[in-house]
Amino acid sequence: MHLDHDPDAPASETIDFDAFLRVDIRVGTIVGAEAYPGARKPSLKLVIDFGAGIGRRKSCAQVASLYDPPALVGRQVAAVVNFPPRQIGKALSEVLTLGFADGEGRVVLFAPDVPVPNGSRLF
C-alpha cells in the first residue's frame, strides 16, 4: 500500500465501518522525546503515555523538521496502538504516531484541540 501525501489525491477505496473500528487510534501524552540521528528522515524517538489500559509506548516519528524534542513533552498526540511493533533502524517503534504533511511535506502532528484523558479512543 502506497500512502499518497498529495492533498488533491482521490479518496482511498471504500471500507466498511467494522474495518475502521479495527484500527485502534488513541490519544496519549508525550513524556519523553529525543533526536534520532540514525533515521533516514529527520525523526524523533518519543515515549507516549496512553494511560493505565495501554501504558507507555515508544514511537519513531518523522517530525524532527518541525518540532524541538523538549517542547513536545506534555503535548497530546494521536497514534495507532494496535499495529505490530516495527524496527526503524536500531529503534523499535511500538505505535504509529499520526500526522499530516504540510505544504513542504513535513509531518505535522495530529492532536485534539482540547485536553482529553490519555487512552481515549478516536471514533
- Spell out the per-residue pLDDT of the chain, length 123, in tens: 445 677 888 998 999 999 999 999 999 999 999 999 878 888 999 999 999 999 999 999 999 999 999 999 999 999 999 999 999 889 999 999 999 999 999 999 999 999 999 999 998
Phi, psi of 100 (to 5 degrees): -125, 150
Phi, psi of 54 (to 5 degrees): -115, -35
Give the per-residue pLDDT at 3.
56
Task: State pTM to two decimals.
Answer: 0.91
Q: Domains of the chain, with CATH numbers? A: 18-109 (2.40.50.140)
Q: How many angstroms from the chain centroid is the CA of residue 52?
A: 19
Give the per-residue pLDDT at 1.
40
Give the per-residue pLDDT at 7.
81
